[in-house]
Chain A
Amino acid sequence: AQKITQTQPGMFVQEKEAVTLDCTYDTSDQSYGLFWYKQPSSGEMIFLIYQGSYDEQNATEGRYSLNFQKARKSANLVISASQLGDSAMYFCAMRAVTDSWGKLQFGAGTQVVVTP
C-alpha cells in the first residue's frame, strides 16, 4: 500500500522568500506519479505540479518546483518568491500502477501562511 507523509502541519513564510514543503512517500511500485495540490481558504483543489517516477529532471511550473529524490523517497515542493496569495493548505499525493492508477493517496497537508 502507498503512504504519503507530510511532517509540517503549518508554517509561516515571509513574502518574497522561498519555502520548501516536505513530502515523503512509501511504495514498492517502480512506476508511480507524485502530485502537489493547493487548497486556498475558498476550498477548491488546485493542481500545481506533477513528477513521474521515471522522470530524470525535477518538474517545474512557474514558481513551483518539485525536488524529487527517488532514493530517499521524497518529493518536496519548493515555492520561490512567495506571494500573499500562496497562503493555503498544500497537499502531496501519489498514485501507482499497482491499482491501475485508480487510487490516489494524499498526505495530511501543510498549512502555509505568507506574511507581508
Chain B
Amino acid sequence: EAQVTQNPRYLITVTGKKLTVTCSQNMNHEYMSWYRQDPGLGLRQIYYSMNVEVTDKGDVPEGYKVSRKEKRNFPLILESPSPNQTSLYFCASSPRPGLAGGSEQFFGPGTRLTVL
C-alpha cells in the first residue's frame, strides 16, 4: 500500500531533550516536506526536500533540523525542544511536480508532540 508513515504518533517530552520524528514513504517520491499545524494558523511548512541531500527552509524552520540521506526517509530533529514546539506535525511527499506544479502531496497520519 502506498503510504507515508510517521513515528511516533504521539510523544510527550520535556524541554531540552533531543528527539527525532521519523518519516518514510514507499512511493519513490522526490519531494518531501514537514509541516506543523496549530489552531488558527493552518499548516506551516518547516522544511522541504526536493531530492536526496537537497533540503531548504520553509516558513518556520527555527528550532528544527532535517536530513535527507535516502530518498524514502526524511526525519525531523528537534535538538532542544521547547514548549512552543508543542504542535501537530505532518510529513508529506509528492512526485516531482510537472509544469504547473500539479502533483498532490500525500500526507502522513501526523505526530502529536507535547513539550513540557
Stretch at the interface among A14-22, A68-76, A77-85, A91-99: A91-99
| Alpha-carbon gap, A52 to B103, bound state (A) | 10
| Alpha-carbon gap, A86 to B112, bound state (A) | 24
Chain B residues whose CB sits within 8 angstroms of the CB of A53 once the complex forms:
100
Contacting pair B101 A44 (CB below 8 A): no
Q: A89-111: which have CB < 8 Å to B?
A: 91, 93, 95-97, 99-109
| Alpha-carbon gap, A105 to B45, bound state (A) | 7
> Could you give 23 example pairs across A and B, Cβ below 8 Å?
A31-B99, A31-B100, A33-B100, A33-B102, A35-B104, A35-B105, A43-B109, A44-B109, A45-B43, A45-B90, A54-B99, A55-B100, A95-B97, A96-B101, A101-B97, A102-B48, A102-B50, A103-B58, A104-B45, A104-B92, A105-B59, A106-B42, A108-B40
How far is the CB of B52 from the nearest CB of chain A, in Å? Answer: 14
| Alpha-carbon gap, A108 to B100, bound state (A) | 23
B90's nearest neighbour on chain A, judged by CB, is A45
Pick the contact of B101 from A6, A9, A43, A101 — CB < 8 Å? A101
| Alpha-carbon gap, A25 to B107, bound state (A) | 22
Does residue B41 face the partner (Cβ distance < 8 Å to A)?
yes
| Alpha-carbon gap, A1 to B88, bound state (A) | 24
Does residue B56 face the partner (Cβ distance < 8 Å to A)?
yes
Q: A53-B100, A102-B31 are in contact. List 14 more A-B contacts (CB 8 A).
A: A31-B101, A35-B104, A44-B107, A45-B43, A45-B105, A47-B106, A50-B102, A91-B42, A101-B96, A101-B101, A102-B50, A103-B48, A104-B105, A105-B59
Number of B residues contacting the other chain (C-beta, 8 Å)? 30
| Alpha-carbon gap, A32 to B101, bound state (A) | 6
Pick the contact of A107 from B42, B56, B88, B106 — CB < 8 Å? B42
Which 10 A/B pairs are nearest by Cβ-Cβ distance?
A: A52-B100, A33-B101, A45-B107, A101-B97, A106-B42, A106-B43, A47-B104, A108-B42, A102-B48, A101-B101
